Amino acid sequence: MNKVKIIGIGGSPRKNGNTDILLDNFLKGAESAGAETKKVLLRNYSIESCIGCEACRKAGTCTQFHDGMELLYPEIEGSKGLILGSPTYNYNITSSMKSFIDRLYPYYNFTNDRPRQYSSKLGNQGRKAIVFSICEQSDIKEMGFALEAMEMPLEALGYEDIEKFPVTSCFDRGVVSKDTEVLKKAFEAGKKLAMDLR
């Protein structure tokens, strides 16, 4: 039997920061349940912003740019599980995470009426996801739309978001590594994702 594959994507520009540490714990949890995992840090990839040319509607893939997304499309397609994480930037996700999500547009099929109806090429495949974000402030409201900015596009693409995982009161580089409770919860969430995908 083939192993469950889960890809974890971190949208933080800060190396070895809290997003990286939490992503590692989600993936360790998934691995403990027998999943095959891959970690992707968007800061290591050159990803252009979508320009809305809509050529991908006909081509089925992005033909405008030859960049890091060419490496990531096969990884996404081959992984039933997806973990997206971003620090909170100005009540939202980082620009690199936003560019990544926007470049998932080729996975939509559209009708020719107005407004166009859409479906997802990734839909009805049992795909599941976790989204997480970290913010400095203690009030969850200060996280703004970060979790929803990842959750809603994934749902539209056919993923079942099994957990939204907010972490507050966390800013200094690596400080989350001292929060054993949060790390344990991330581990267990990753484990659950792998088990749910079996």
Give the C-alpha distances (Å, rounded to integers) separating 60 from 57, 95, 104, 116, 165.
6, 24, 11, 17, 32
* Cα–Cα distance for residue pair 195/191, rounded to 1 Å: 6
Say what angle helices 95-102 and 146-156 make with each other, to 10 degrees: 10
**Span 6-21, average pLDDT:** 97
Backbone angles phi, psi at 106, to 5 degrees: -60, -15
Residue 55: left if φ>0, alpha if ψ -120 to 50, beta else—which one?
alpha
| Confidence (pLDDT) at 116 | 87
Burial class (CB in 10 A: 0-12, 13-18, 19+), 179: middle
Structure confidence by residue, pLDDT tens digits, 105-134: 999 999 888 888 999 999 999 999 999 999
* Cα–Cα distance for residue pair 92/94, rounded to 1 Å: 7
| Confidence (pLDDT) at 112 | 87
Structure confidence by residue, pLDDT tens digits, 135-173: 999 999 999 999 999 999 999 999 999 999 999 999 999
Q: Mean pLDDT over all residues of the chain?
A: 96
CATH of the structural domain 5-196, one choice from 3.30.360.10, 3.30.420.40, 3.40.50.360, 3.30.420.130: 3.40.50.360
**Span 67-72, average pLDDT:** 97
| Confidence (pLDDT) at 58 | 87
Looking at the chain, the whole-number percentage of residues with pLDDT higher than 90 is: 93
Indicate whether 1 pLDDT > 60: no
Contacts of 108 (CB under 8 A, 6+ apart): 118, 119, 120, 121, 156, 157
Structure confidence by residue, pLDDT tens digits, 80-100: 999 999 999 999 999 999 999
